[in-house]
């Protein structure tokens, strides 16, 4: 009973106080005067300082692998016995050329002088074979004798074709394993063409001691004959150099036998043959 009375009294007091405050506020006079407001002096502005700290954590892991190769060159000095140089011997056909001088003899000796000769040859000869063969052709321009040159009308000319057998004999090796020195003999059939060739004719029967000469014809004349001679050759690999001399004879009509005696230096190229390692 006493609790309800107390609560009612409190509520009532509260309402009464609120009503009194409202009435006082309505009864308070309002002022129409403006109150001046000035800004604060410079330097008195209050600034807010904000401190911000960002923390960035970066984790960057790089894995790198370097590969290094090291090259080492090693040089050993070893004395190696050089192999024996093989000897390549010619085995078969060869071709070559030669040149030199040619001397007149026999019936063409007196009215002619020493001239030049050129030669080309082809043959077959094995290095260790004794017998071989050769075919050659020559051209000769004989010199002029002063007593016959005015009447000759030019240098005497001779062409020859020679088919020969060749016999060779080895003499040994020089300067080590090669080259090989050979001696050889050569001879066979010869056919000669000649032009403007002055020569001594056969002596008349009634005057055997009289010498009769002719200036020769201005046309080509051919006669059979023979040749024989020899030489030395130096053989190294497929190459051969040689020096050679021989007599090439033919029989002119109405005159004693005529000869030219050439001395030539030449070169032959052989085909490759067997290889010997001795």
Q: What mean pLDDT comes out for the span 226-248?
A: 93
- In this prediction, residue 170 carries a pLDDT of 85
Note the pLDDT tens digit of each residue in 39-74: 555 545 555 565 666 665 656 666 666 666 566 666
In a domain, 5, yes or no: no
Task: Look up residue 155 and give its DSSP letter.
Answer: -
Of the chain, the percentage scoring pLDDT greater than 90 comes to 41
What residues make up the domain containing 163? 90-276
CB neighbours of residue 262 within 10 Å: 25
pLDDT band at 148 (very low <50, low <70, confident <90, very high): confident
In a domain, 33, yes or no: no
Q: Which CATH number is 141's domain given? A: 2.40.160.20
- In this prediction, residue 34 carries a pLDDT of 61
Distance CA 209, CA 196 (A): 25
Total number of domains constituting the chain: 1
Note the pLDDT tens digit of each residue in 172-220: 776 656 678 899 999 999 999 999 899 999 988 777 788 888 888 889 9
In a domain, 58, yes or no: no
Residue in 125, 95, 121, 168 with CA at minimum distance from that of residue 273? 125
In a domain, 52, yes or no: no
CB neighbours of residue 47 within 10 Å: 5
3-state helix, strand, coil in the chain (%, to 5): 10, 45, 45
């Amino acid at each position: 009973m006493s609790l309800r009375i107390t609560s009612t009294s409190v509520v009532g007091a509260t309402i009464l106080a609120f009503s009194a405050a409202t009435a006082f506020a309505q009864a308070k006079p309002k002022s129409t005067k403006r109150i001046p407001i000035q800004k604060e002096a410079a330097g008195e502005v209050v600034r807010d300082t904000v401190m911000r700290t960002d923390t960035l954590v970066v984790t960057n892991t790089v894995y790198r692998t370097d590969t290094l190769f090291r090259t080492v060159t090693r040089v050993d000095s070893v004395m190696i016995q050089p192999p024996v140089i093989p000897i390549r011997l010619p085995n078969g056909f060869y071709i070559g050329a030669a040149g030199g001088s040619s001397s007149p003899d026999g019936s063409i000796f007196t009215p002619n002088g020493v001239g030049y000769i050129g030669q080309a040859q082809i043959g077959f000869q094995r290095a260790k074979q004794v017998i071989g063969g050769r075919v050659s052709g020559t051209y000769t321009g004989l010199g002029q004798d002063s007593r016959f040159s005015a009447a000759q009308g030019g240098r005497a000319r001779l062409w020859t074709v020679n088919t020969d057998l060749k016999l060779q004999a080895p003499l040994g090796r020089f300067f080590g394993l090669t080259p090989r020195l050979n001696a050889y003999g050569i001879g066979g059939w010869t056919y000669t063409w000649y032009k403007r060739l002055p020569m001594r004719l056969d002596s008349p029967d009634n005057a055997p001691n009289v010498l009769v000469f002719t200036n020769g014809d201005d046309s080509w004349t051919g006669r059979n004959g023979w040749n024989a001679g020899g030489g030395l050759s130096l053989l190294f690999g497929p190459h051969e150099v040689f020096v050679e001399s021989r007599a090439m004879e033919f029989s002119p009509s109405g005159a004693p036998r005529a000869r030219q005696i050439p001395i030539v230096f030449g070169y032959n190229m052989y085909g490759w043959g067997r290889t010997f390692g001795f």
